[in-house]
Every structure is written in C-alpha cells, then in structure tokens.
Structure 1
Amino acid sequence: MAAVDSGDNQSNRRIPQPTIRKAVTSLLKWKKKQISDQKPPISGDVDDFIYLLLTLKKIPHKDFTKSPKKITFPHSLSTSPESCRSCLIIDDRPKPNSQKLTFDFVDQKIKSLGIPISKILKLSKLKSDYRSFESKVELLNSFDVFLADRRIINMLPEILGKVFYKKKKKIPVPVDLRRDGDWKEEIEMGFCCSLLWLSKGTCSVVKVGKFEGMKVEEIVDNVVAAVGGVVQVVPKKWAGVKSFHLKFFDSLALPIYQLDQKDGDMVTK
C-alpha cells in the first residue's frame, strides 16, 4: 500500500494514498452533483478549489502566524501556466551595486527563458496606481495567479489590503528574483504551490486541488506533497498535528488523518 511520507525521518506517521483517493473521489462526485442540480455555492462565490484543512493540537505561537509558508506540489492549480493570467510584482526600489530590477531587464529575462508571465508590475507602480479599493478589486479580478519578489512580500499586505488578504485566495506567492538566481525554476515552482497561512486559532487551510482541469491522481499527488510540506512548517511537526481533512469551500470536510485521543495513534477512514 502506497503511503504519504511526512518528510520527517523521525516520524512513523503515514497516511495511505487510498484514503486520500477515496476522499478526493467523493468530493468530486459531490461537486458534480451540485453543479448538475444547479445549486449555487453557499458563500455566493464561485470556488472550485479543494482545500487541505489542518487542525493543530494547540494554537500556534504568533511567530508562526506572521507570514505565509509556501507549500509546493507537482501539479499546478491552474489549467497550465501558459493559459492562466499571471502577474509578477517586481522590486524596483533603488539598490546598491546596480542591483535594481527594471521593467526592461525583467521583461527581457523572462522572455529569453520562455517564462509565461502575462504582466510585469513594478512595486512603484503598484503603490501609485492601485491606491483605491476599486483599482485593487480590478487588479485582483484581472489575474489568476500573483507572484512577487520575496524581498517585498512583507510589504504587500499593507499595499494590497483586505481585498487580497481577507479571503486569502490570491495572495502573491514569493519567488526569489536575485539577478543571478534561477528564475525559471523559481517561477515554475510558484505556479505549482499554494500558501499556508497559519491562523490565530487551531484550524488553517491550504489549496491543493481544483475541480476543473485536474485529474483525480493529480489531486492525490498534490495532497501527498502538501501533507509533507505542511508538517515541516507547523509547530512540533507531526507531534503538533491533530487532524487533516479535505473539503471544498462549501462541502463537508472529509477526514484523511485523525489522532486517536486515547493512544495517540493515527486513525484513517
């Protein structure tokens, strides 16, 4: 039986892939029925992402909740990087030793590497042209994926505001854009990842799949990778995890891992 390895060599915790596959299949079946019955989402929003729901044993220390953690997996949540609308936010602040990233330099580099980016947006232009609530909403709706130079990632919540960060659906993914870095690998990984933002409570979610454009096995692969990635960045790793569930935004949460309160063993269903 194939199993999910936590990525922690000191841990014996495993989640069987058939458990994940059963949950994914059930969720996709539920979503198809919902669509065929023409039932609108409870929230009123169109949301066809599958989420990995993490429940911790204890509320994490505030140091863990300050910034999101990048969780990578093998399959993009977009139909393909080439077909999705993507925006790359670059750090054009003055830097020593002529390290400032100009629009022309970035544009030439991503084109030479064949990187599929729809729009390059300078930090200075983001600050000047997207001050109003309406302009931020327009920006949010114009692109499927946002990537940003990791050097400015902590500045973006204040600049982009609650339009981007309240529901945490299109938070810019940090990428390393050092001049001598591997931009192609960084940006390709940016398309194949999601952000885990640990909440100030015990429950947090991270996107791992999508109803449209993804096969069952692709979603299973992503869940496998996401579980391992999440365990590596949460407090106490597996020792701090109470449960994992899979769900759509408006569906029931299906368990794939639960800690038995009596003896501390894993229980899967």
Structure 2
Amino acid sequence: MAAVNSGETQSKQRIPRDAVRKAVISLLKWKKKQMSDQKNPISGDVDDFIYLLLTLKKIPHKDFTTSPKKIPLLHSLHTSPESSPSCLIIDDRPKPNSQKLTFEYADKKIKSLGIPITRIIKLSKLKSDYRSFESKMELFNSFDVFLADRRINEMLPKILGKVFYNKKKKIPVPVELRRDGDWKEEIEKGFCSSLLWLSNGTCSVVKVGKFGAMEVEEIVDNVVAAAGGVVEVVPKKWVGLKSFHLKFFDSLALPIYQKGVKHESKT
C-alpha cells in the first residue's frame, strides 16, 4: 500500500468528500447536457477532462514554474495502459562511470516485465527526427500518453516545443529509469499520475478526472489525492493556498475549498 503524505491527510480533513462529490456530480450533469445539446460535435476539439483549479495567495517565484510536478492519483485518467497508446522517451546520452541506456536494453526490459509501452524513442532520435512542426504534430497525435526519463525532463520543452507545451495536454510524465531501478513500478505510477505546471500567475490547473471514463467516486478519490499532492509542491503549502475549484475547460468553476471558510462534512 502506498504511503499517504501529510498533504493528502490534511486535504481529507479540510476538503469534505461530500462537497467534492456534489461538485463532481453537478459538473458531470452539465457535461452530459452539453454533449446532448451539441448537434455536430468535433471529437478532436472535445476536452473531456475535469480539472482541479488551484489559486495561490501570491504569484509563485520563477523557480517553481520551470518544470511540471508529478501529482499521484488513485485512479488513472486513461481507460487502461493496455488500451492507451503510449510512448516512452529514454535518455541515451553517454553517462560518466555508468553504462549508456540503449534502445535494446530498454526494449528488452520493458518486454520482460510485461509493461504495456507502445513505443520507445531515444532522446538522440527525438532530437534528430522530430525537428519540424509537422513531425512533432504526427508524434503528438500518435499516442495518448507520453512518459520520459526524469533526467531529461527539463530539456523536453525546447525539444518538443509548443506542439506539446502550449496547451499542456500531453506533456511527458517524468519517471525514474535507473538501470537497477523498478521500472514496472515507476511506469505504473506514471500512468496513474497527472502533471501540475504552475503558471506565472496565481491560478493553475491539474487534471483529476475524465467524463465518460470514470465513476463519480473514482473522480472524488482523485480530487482528494491530487489536492494533497498539490499542497506538497506549491510555495508555503496550505499557508500559500487560497482556494480549490473543480471545472471542465469550458464550464464554471465550482468551489470545494476556500481559505477561512469551514465546511461541515457528512462523510
């Protein structure tokens, strides 16, 4: 069983599940009505994710906004790793005093552990073969999930560019890929995580649920867990946090936590 961090414990105390559940149910009803009213939906333009919107008291220092933070969830946002095409980007740069991580080694390890990765791409190949906007778009559209070696995390915005990072929809999730590490556990955690990229303002969002793919209680679980994970990585933790809201990309934001406002929980 995974250890529960202090942020998640406090989020359970500060954010009542019944308040989260009411907000989730309201949003799902709104989304269902919107989908039924839309006569000619364009599937590629539909954003089915529920977002946890956090508002900080102050604009975060730039040190907090340079790279995304991995937020653990209890339930994956994807139907299953097996049914979601995935791409793993490995760091094949020569390393002092250690063996270079080759495609052959990574491919053999992935297959021997039964990890459902669709394709492995070396960092060197990513840099050489995906320079044009068109090639990056093709890569972006080929997979639902992208995972990448944690050691190259800060290099990827420059390499993948605005195709991946402007709308922040498929930013690669960082995973620890040491030769002697537990790749299976790391990649499973990657599939069951969301990314928080703190903005240059006070408001940021992190995905916590998906319409049509998750049950209400699964989304509620994710909201509580994500709130705890967020608090652990934002400046000053709970002290620096002003509020939490839930929303779809194009919906109203429903409050589930506001600083100084007490909620009475029934569950």
TM-score range, shorter chain: over 0.9
Are residue 157 (structure 1) and residue 157 (structure 2) matched?
yes
| CA distance in 1: counterparts of 2:8 and 2:21, whole angstroms | 22
Give per-residue Cα distances to partners, 1:72-115, cap 9 Å, x unaligned. 01111000011101000000111234421111100110111111
Q: Which residue of 2 aligns with 1:195?
A: 195
The aligned counterpart of 2:77 is 77
Q: Distance in 2 between matches of 1:35 and 1:121?
A: 37
What does residue 226 of structure 1 align with? Answer: 226
Per-residue CA deviations over 1:36-63 (Å, capped at 9, x if unaligned) read 1116789x82110000000001111111
Q: What are the superposed Cα offsets for residues 195-246 of structure 1, whole Å, 9 maximum, x if unpaired?
A: 1011110000000000021111111110010000001111111111111000
1:114 equivalent in structure 2: 114
Alpha-carbon distance, 1:68 to partner: 0.9
1:148 matched to which residue of 2?
A: 148
SS of the counterpart of 1:7?
Answer: helix
8 Å contact 2:11–2:224 — kept in the other structure?
no
8 Å Cα contact 1:6/1:231 also seen in 2: no
Normalised to the residue count of structure 2, the TM-score between the two structures is: 0.92
The verdict on how the C-alpha distance between 1:203 and 1:267 changes in structure 2, with shifts beyond 3 A counting, is: farther
| SS at structure 2 position matched to 1:188 | helix
Contact 2:53 2:205 in 1 (8 A): yes
Equivalence for 2:255? 255
- What are structure 1's unaligned runs of at least 5 residues? none
**2:59 equivalent in structure 1:** 59
Q: What is aligned with 2:128?
A: 128
Check conservation: 1:6, 1:227, Cα contact below 8 A.
no
What's the counterpart of residue 38 of structure 1? 38
Q: Deviations over 1:6-30 (max 9, x none)?
A: 6277899611000000001111111
**2:92, 2:132 → 1: CA distance?**
21
Could you tell me which amino acid in structure 2 is paired with residue 205 of structure 1?
Answer: V
Check the 8 A contact 2:89/2:123 in 1, yes or no. yes
1:5, 1:15 within 8 Å by CA — same for their partners in 2?
Answer: no
Read off the aligned partner of 1:230 and give its amino acid letter: V
Amino acid at match of 1:116: P
Deviates more, 1:32-41 or 1:99-108: 32-41
- Is the contact between residue 87 and residue 145 of structure 1 (CA under 8 Å) also seen in structure 2? yes
Instruction: Report the more deviating stretch, 191-200 or 95-104.
Output: 95-104
The amino acid that maps onto 1:195 is L
> Secondary structure, in 3 states, of the residue corresponding to 2:7?
coil
Q: Is 2:16–2:263's contact at 8 Å kept on the other side of the alignment?
A: no
Where does structure 2 lack aligned partners over 5 or more consecutive residues?
Answer: none
8 Å CA contact 1:258–1:267 kept in 2: the answer is no
In the superposition, relative to structure 1, how do residues 31 and 112 fare at CA in structure 2: closer, same or farther (>3 Å)?
A: same
Letter in 1 for 2:21: R
Residue 67 (structure 1) shift: 1.1
Q: CA RMSD in A?
A: 2.2
- Secondary structure in structure 2 of the residue aligned to 1:247: strand
1:13–1:266 contact (8 Å) kept in structure 2: no
3-state SS in 2 of match to 1:180: coil
